[in-house]
Amino acid sequence: MTTDSPKGQTAGSIVSPVAPAAPLNADAAAAPVDVTPQLRRLHPLTPVLRSWRLLGGLTAAALGLFRDQVENLAWIWHALQGDAEFGGLPKAFGLVMFSLLISALAAWLSWRATGFAFVTDSNGVGTLLFHRGLLVRHRSQVRLKRVQSVDVNQPLVPRLLGLSALRLDMAAGEGASVNLAYLRSADAWHLREEILCHTAVASAGTAAEQSVARPGIRDPGAAASGNHAAAGLTAAVEAASPAWHDTRGDELVAQVSTHHLVRANLLDGVSAWLLLVAWLLGLVVSTVIWGWEALLGAFAVLIPVTIAFAAQTSRQIGSMLRDANFRLYRTPTGVRISSGLTSTINRTIDFDRIQGVRLMEPYLWRRFGWAAVMVDIAGGPQDEEKGAALMPVAERAAALELVAHVTGVSLDCGSYAGAGGGARRLDPLGWRYLGVAMFAEGVARRSGRWRRSTAYVPFQRVQSVTAHQGWLQRRLSLATVYVDLPVGAKRWDARHRALDDAANLVGELGRRTRAQLEPADEELVG
């Protein structure tokens, strides 16, 4: 195991293989795959990187136990003067060292128990074996065909060390994901391609089947809007500069400049800042008018305001860090996103994994004609309520073309049916902006007085349709129609539809969804 000089290795020799005599392989014989492959290990620095939290926790606990000695820092001075003995220090220090040792040992053992390998059976179907867990052993076998996405992520510290995490998402959601953290970046990219070969073969096969079975479904490669979109996107985009992973042959489609991103983010959060400024102004004015008592009174609300301020700042900084250096590439089966300033994310989104698309237009963006595009991905990360950004900010026309490229639908061309006057009682501000439009392969809804959002869902993804009517809605003969989507996607809703309108919508959604299912039926029979 070469723990030193990871740079010396080439991309070909992936993480050093474990010797056959290693204990890891001894019990791997129990795995259902009869040919036990050599398990590769993660990068040797992994235990260090993964144990820092545990270490931090233990250290904090140790310091907490000897709080008295630590707080009373005067004893250092006394000790240096020779007046006092190092009473608490050795104990605290010893405990810290002990916890360090324990956590390092635990991390090292768990690293030793972690391994992965690729197996290809006689049919050429690839499987990833992933073993982990020291006390409770986990043996996962991931069918590469079922992999929904392969991301290469680099948190800050691993990034400085040239390491990456390779994350495989399954349709089953967060719990089924496999995170190979950490590998050397070159290895991670190499593995990613290896995995994508298996999934791309699989999905290219199904895509061909689908286009035969369902001629109506957009074929990403042949989409008439595809090349056009790429040309149109340059409006929001600067000239492509060759990035280091451009060698992968993916074409750069779009890129967001930093100043555009910063301006868009500030505009998006401007209402929160305005509220804070208003509060400060109110503080000054009330102090001038009523004197210092008013100031003291105002300080009572200082804590919630500070929390709001901190939350807003961290949210904005977080989203700017996440979306900085945003680049969108076209791959043979979908698109690839690369973004991030401190931690970088590389996310591949295949067209056939997209569960829904949303066009977001905050109030102040509309004045500049900007929009953001969000996508919901099966089994994708659910960390943000927004879903994954397909485009953090772009000119509206470019965003629409991107949506068209991804779904084959131009959202502005639909005829949106409004919610009707009854909705006014329940949503006096936004009712005018509610609308539903049917497209050939999906359904879109618009909503939002201030933050306008247009959500599109292909019928192919509809799992079930739910109609819901609350007490007030019943009085007004209204109902809300939901479309239930696979795990990881935001639920689609058409709020406050008139009753027969809602009945039509439910019937139509059901019919179109079944129409999507029928060809598959024939395929099975034929």
Would you tell me which residues interact with another protein (CB under 8 A)? 171, 378, 461-471, 474, 479, 482, 484-487, 489, 491, 499-500, 502-503, 506-507, 509-510, 513-514, 516-517, 520-521, 524
Beta carbon of residue 206, minimum distance to another protein (angstroms, whole number): 8
Least separation in angstroms between CB 346 and another protein: 23
Provide the minimum distance between the beta carbon of 272 and another protein in the complex, in angstroms, as a whole number.
30
Least distance from another protein to the Cβ atom of residue 220, Å: 17
Least spacing, CB of residue 515 vs another protein, in Å:
10
Nearest distance from C-beta of residue 470 to another protein, angstroms: 6
The number of CA neighbours under 13 Å toward the Cβ of 325 is 15
Q: Closest CB to another protein among 293 and 484?
A: 484
Q: How many other C-beta atoms lie within 10 A of the C-beta of residue 255? A: 21
Of the candidates 399, 393, 396, the one whose C-alpha atom is nearest the C-alpha of residue 261 is 393
CA distance 171 to 337: 19
Query: Residue 396, Cβ neighbours under 10 Å: how many?
Result: 17
Q: How many CB atoms lie within 10 A of CB 487?
A: 17
Which residue, 334, 326, 458, 342, is CA-closest to 392? 326
Residue whose CB is less far from another protein, 339 or 516 = 516
- Exposure letters 165-204 (e unless 16+ CB within 10 A, then b): bbbbbbbebeebbbebbbbbbbbbbbbbeebbebbbebbe
Between 227 and 463, CB nearer to another protein: 463
Distance CA 452, CA 361 (A): 5
- Output the CA torsion 337→407→495→482 (10° steps): -90
Distance CA 516, CA 88 (A): 72
Q: 75 or 459: whose CB is closer to another protein?
A: 459
Per DSSP bridges, beta strands 327-331 and 492-498 are: unpaired
Residues 356 and 492 sit within 8 Å (Cβ to Cβ): yes
Dist. CA 463–CA 468, nearest whole Å: 16
Is residue 379 within 8 A of residue 176, CB to CB? The reply is yes
Tell the smallest beta-carbon distance from residue 467 to another protein (Å).
4
* Single-letter amino acid code for the residue at 81: Q
Token pair belonging to 198: 């298996």
Q: How far is the CB of 410 from another protein (least distance, A)?
A: 25
Beta strands in 16-133 (DSSP E): 115-120, 126-132
To another protein, the closest distance from the beta carbon of 499 in angstroms equals 5
